[in-house]
Amino acid sequence: MNSTLSIYNSLSGKTELFKTISPNYVGMYVCGPTVYSNVHLGNCRTFISFDLIYRYLTHLGFKVKYVRNITDVGHLENDEDQGEDRISKKARKESLEPMEVVQKYTVDFHKTLSKFNLLHPSIEPTATGHIIEQIKLIKKIIKAGYAYEINNSVYFDVIKFNKEYEYGKLSGRNIEDLIHNTRKLDGQSDKKNAQDFALWKKAESIHIMKWPSPWGDGFPGWHLECTAMSSKYLGDQFDIHGGGMDLKFPHHECEIAQSESINKKSPVKYWIHANMLTLNSKKMSKSTGNNILPEEIFSGNNKIFNKSFHPEVVKFFMMQAHYRSILDLSEKALKASEKGYNKLITAYNFLNEIKPSNNESSFKFDEWNKKCYSAMNNDFNSPLLIANLFDAVKYINSVKNGLNSISKKTLNKVKVSFKIFVDDILGIYGKNTTDTNINKVDEILNILLKLRKLSRENKDFKTSDEIRNSLKKIGITLEDNSNDTDYKIN
């Protein structure tokens, strides 16, 4: 496959031409959620970013095997090797069995992602579904000399690994600084060095999530599952590994160490990290209350914003920033995106209404189309793609208003391109997400609004008022502007 796609590689810190390990084939692994709470909006941004990447690679003709895992055991509180497994803790709190917690939040995760129109990954493996593979991996790492067993737990020896390999190369951390900055061991830990991380943790007798192993009953460390599952489904070396920026260290650094210690080669060709989402210019945090869940935005049931926003609008807002930029969520920004979103969808619909003329179009399609691809080929630059789409929107509107013309041939080409860029790549379907009836609401409402406009023009205010009042009864509010009527569905 001959592509001019360039990707920013977190490992090299450079934008590199994308060359796959096997021709036409892409193996991509993305770290999925730890299912112990409702999926965060920041996580959604990460998964939306990789959905864009998955969609674009597929559009380019690559056969992509996209693996995104579900962490259903082993993710400890505070990302430390001490403390309790997050899922077990939540299970205790909610008086549920750990696997009931897993089920509850896996269902929430899938539901939320489907509202954003994300495609399902090719495989969605779970950590508990790969305990045997993880035990096998630990045995290999011990055999290679980079892990040690102590009191029924197994730890990865970071100091030893760093003597022969480079620990910290992805996150740009230096082992000496790490040693200097790490809290000293408090005497309760079995680890040789504070930097070492758990591959297998001994389970206390009351612990429910545990499995037998050569080191006694226990459960795997969090970093291990991704190495086990990525290598099982994509091989010891694969093309793309992605995740949120916060996973770069220590999670991804540990994945590299685990893999290199046994395979003596880098597991991943391109590391891609999606940046964080802030809320009203501050870090999102449950404890400070500066936090909002996706469902709270969609329903409007929150104390942060004065109105609700459709999932596609929230997604469009995210697409208007590059995945590597920090993005700030605010009501103002969402409103601006909503306006832009509606403008884009309206113009997209106009494509089926405008009449082509015999005149050659002044719209330079080839140049424009090239610019769209060039945006995406430049490290998946969706904001630039959207800016280009708006150039076309401007032209479409001018044709619609009779100020410009478009030939049939060009119109058809634009239609095809909009289908590719809006539907297939951005994954935006004009609110037509779960049911065709959603679009129908708009369409039927428009007929009703046209009738109302007509009655008002005919001074038949009885009818126009009745329409307004009937709509109000079913929760639809009309807002008359100078030359148009907006509606709001509660």
Interatomic CA distance for residues 273 and 231, integer angstroms: 20
- Pairing relation of β-strands 25-30 and 63-68? parallel
- Smallest gap from residue 433 Cβ to its own copies (A): 8
- Smallest gap from residue 435 Cβ to its own copies (A): 5
- Smallest gap from residue 185 Cβ to its own copies (A): 32
Choice between 134 and 369, CB closer to its own copies: 134
Interatomic CA distance for residues 480 and 483, integer angstroms: 8
- Smallest gap from residue 471 Cβ to its own copies (A): 7
Choice between 29 and 395, CB closer to its own copies: 29
Residue 23 preceded by cis peptide, ω within 30: no
Q: What residue ranges bind its own copies (CB under 8 A)?
A: 65, 97, 99-100, 102-103, 107, 110, 120-126, 128-129, 131-132, 136, 211-212, 233, 434-435, 437-438, 440-441, 443-445, 447-448, 450-451, 463, 466-467, 470-471, 474-476, 489
- Cβ contact 433:427 at 8 Å: no
Choice between 182 and 470, CB closer to its own copies: 470
Q: 257 is written with which tokens?
A: 């160490």
Choice between 14 and 93, CB closer to its own copies: 93
- Smallest gap from residue 302 Cβ to its own copies (A): 18
- Smallest gap from residue 133 Cβ to its own copies (A): 8
Choice between 80 and 443, CB closer to its own copies: 443
Choice between 116 and 368, CB closer to its own copies: 116
Choice between 135 and 347, CB closer to its own copies: 135
Choice between 111 and 394, CB closer to its own copies: 111
Interatomic CA distance for residues 36 and 456, integer angstroms: 55
Choice between 403 and 447, CB closer to its own copies: 447
- Cβ contact 439:78 at 8 Å: no
Tell me the angle at which helices 98-115 and 86-94 cross, rounded to the nearest 10 degrees.
100
- Smallest gap from residue 228 Cβ to its own copies (A): 13
Q: 132 is written with which tokens?
A: 């045997």
- Smallest gap from residue 1 Cβ to its own copies (A): 18
- Smallest gap from residue 121 Cβ to its own copies (A): 7
